[in-house]
Amino acid sequence: MTMNPPPRDDNGHVVPHDHDGIDASHGVIRRISELQIVTDKAGQRRISSLAFKPSGGSNGGMSVDLEESIRAAGLDPYGYVTTPRWTGSVKFVVGDLRNENFKVGFNPLPENPHHGEVWGDFGRAKQRRLQTLARWFVPIEGVIIAVS
């Protein structure tokens, strides 16, 4: 799976875009660390809403890994996204994100050529919606994605 380079601004930063090489049926994976897990008032461990926010910086989106790109490179996506820091991950279907008016694009990094971004409105209602759309990819024992 060869992807066309993403569009960039005059400073070389990737601009928010829907990449034509990322199909609606593809999956994107959001890595989860222990720092993104909270214990609620009922004592249940769950993924914090912070995990469903964009990073800072110019044109910052929510960082994801492009599952199809990882597979096309002959790599195991489960092993690729799991590290001592990133012990779990959730998966989104690209079409579901686009139906929520998010853009899903390609943003390769020197250390991660399968990196993408999700851009859009990350207000509180959208963060809750993202939690309902997320499905475990690499589950963390004893942790739920969202309160139902």
Q: What is the pLDDT along the chain (148 residues), one digit of tens a residue?
A: 678 999 999 988 899 999 999 999 999 999 999 999 999 898 999 999 889 999 877 678 999 999 999 999 999 999 999 999 999 999 999 999 999 999 999 999 999 999 999 999 999 999 999 999 999 999 999 999 986 6
Q: Which residues of 125-143 are buried (b: 16+ CB within 10 A; e: fewer)?
A: ebbebbbebbeebbebeeb
R_g of the chain computed on alpha carbons = 15
72 membership: H or E segment, kind and range:
helix 67-72
64 phi and psi angles, rounded to 5 deg: -140, 165
